[in-house]
Structure 1
Amino acid sequence: MAMDVHLRDLRYFTVLAEHLHFTVAAQKLYISQPALSKQIRALERQLGFPLLERRPREVVLTPQGQALLPRARELVAAWQETWQEARSAGPTFTLTVGMQTAVGRNLQREALTRFRDEGWRISLRLVSWEDPTAGLGDGGSDVAFLWLPLPAPGLVSRTLIREPRWVSLPVGHPLAAKPEVDFADLADEAFVALPRAAGPVREFWLATDARDGREPRIGIEVTSPADTFEAIASGLGVALIAEKNAQLYQRPDVVHRPVRDLAPAELALVWRANDTRPEVAEFVAAFPAAPSGPAGSQ
């Protein structure tokens, strides 16, 4: 019986087989360890046999995994070579820009217009928060606009702006009547949270480091801005957002208020550390870095 499997999952398997350690392999792939485990189990179910034996202190390949590995490596390498050849066959360079929320702030317009005028093909890719790298991890994006901290090793960033964090509340919430909110007043609130796969970015938007060791209350997990504000409007929780995002995401059933006692948020342009293509470097250079210092400083 013919069977289709994702090349991505075969790549995950080959990297895991090389390191035989889920955490290390996940770092190499720029994904979370739970996400890698989930995909490997899905691949095993699809194939109909186990690829790895998970022991208390080690991971080893099964006989089926050992038989599959050489061919899987050949397929992954062949596709990478074919993709590179196809990509370089045409005269126009295509740059894919990943993002997870609206960027706004006039950050993109001038640079994207300039590169398009120079003959570049620019593709904008909206990626779920289930992939905190916005496509950098699987190669689907060349660069990405991301809120720091960096979600995985092997990435580098250029901070473009710093903004205070605000809170989004449902209309009628007791704190909505205040012009500003102390973060201490939010400590017991249920929060709308990014998925666990978002890792350190999830923790930043929950302000975990400002809670004196207390665990945040999670009302619901969401994977997109639309889901976030729908959850807030429905009274399922509150959420921290960047100041300018409070302007970008306006709706009549949600109010936004500045929050005191929190470090600012940083929006950055991010790319892979091992990506030395001149086109990526040229694109990054088109965006000036934010001045050092707290949000609002010159």
Structure 2
Amino acid sequence: MKLKTTLEQWLTLIEVDRAGSIQGAAQSLNKSHTTLIYALRKLEQQLGMELIRIEQRRSVLTDEARALLRRAIPMVAQARTLEMVSNQMAQGVESEITLTVDHLCCRQWLMGPLARFSRQYRGTSVQIRETSLSATERAVTEGEGDLAIINLPVGNHLTDPFGVVTMVPVVAPNHPLSRLESVTISDLIAHTQVVVRDLGASKTEGERDVGWLRSELRITVDNFDHAWDAVRAGIGFCRMPEHRLAEVDSSQVVRLALDGGGAYQVPLHLTLPKGEQTGVAARALYQLLLEDAQSRMGRPDGAPI
């Protein structure tokens, strides 16, 4: 079916409503007063209804026009977005990028940069994949993502600091270890340890181990959400990222006072797995993540941390 109206006509009506007068809309659209009057009268003829009436020398939209504007405004906005996306695609901007994130990373560190990115690159979808241990390294070495947040630098890949995660040992309040003022290695060995699985390990390679893993019994889970549930249930102790404890009811767990080392820190880094072949959108998201990290870590000037 051939359309009777054009986007330009609806844009004119929207601007008249915003400016409060035809003269104001003419100045905003850089068109003559006569041109806008003609366009509006033409639109009224095409629709078969009155859209504008004059009240006290002001151009006022009729109730019917306002009802139509509720549909016209998002339609014009979508047309603008379509043109912007088309322009980005013509410049080689990717339609989709993948960000791989090590499971130790605080999720909130991603939200601000992602929100700004989505406003600037509306035509680019972002896939976020969580990795751990060997999967984190393989995502970089095999170029599985366009940008990556990793816990250890990978050979032949440049990195920038992204943050530091503190790992703390915790148990449920009713766990026997919670009643000890100082916990030794011997105490830990006698109890079940909750461990997060190496999601990237193959059957032939075997799982990669990190940290203290000398307990006689282990409960191995896929992620820290499951580990948190296991700890709260009193199954065993686990080293949890400190930022995870800040996101939940920390009164449900007790931090263990370990004799000879109660916590350790893991630095996180940003890298571009595809190097010089990285696309426009991926580089833009990388820069937004980096700027947010520098501000969060107190060095907005980008100087070495």
TM-score for both structures, normalised by structure 1: 0.50
TM-score for both structures, normalised by structure 2: 0.49
Larger-gyration structure (1/2):
2
